[in-house]
Structure 1
Amino acid sequence: MEPLWTIEETAAFLKIPVETLRYWRKKKTGPKAARMGRCLRYHPRHVIRWFEECGGEVA
């Protein structure tokens, strides 16, 4: 299993502020995340798939 990303790592990958990722999560428009206790974790494949579905290209 691939290591899961923190919200900071996910935001860095997408090159967006952490607050934007939190806003998208609140609006249910961002990449899928799992809550582990008080922390959010993102699976890299889910983030990449969501990004590609939004019309982005992964280099």
Structure 2
Amino acid sequence: MTYRKVELTDMQLSHAVVAIQSYMEDLLRKANHDPEGGEHEDYLVAQSVLAALKAAKHEPN
């Protein structure tokens, strides 16, 4: 697994969290109404990104 360092301002980080949450909601709606397949995997990836972003919000600067 390769890790990348990404530096974001607090505002960018907050917006990224909200964007990922919105994307996850869209994936759930799509899976329920017009499933194409792959939504579950995409949701899990987005969930892992969200967890990393939320952890970063709590790290000291």
TM category, shorter: under 0.3
Question: Normalising to structure 2: TM-score of the pair?
Answer: 0.26
Question: Normalising to structure 1: TM-score of the pair?
Answer: 0.27
Structure 1 or 2: more helix by fraction:
2
Higher-Rg member (1/2): 2
Structure 1 or 2: more strand by fraction:
1
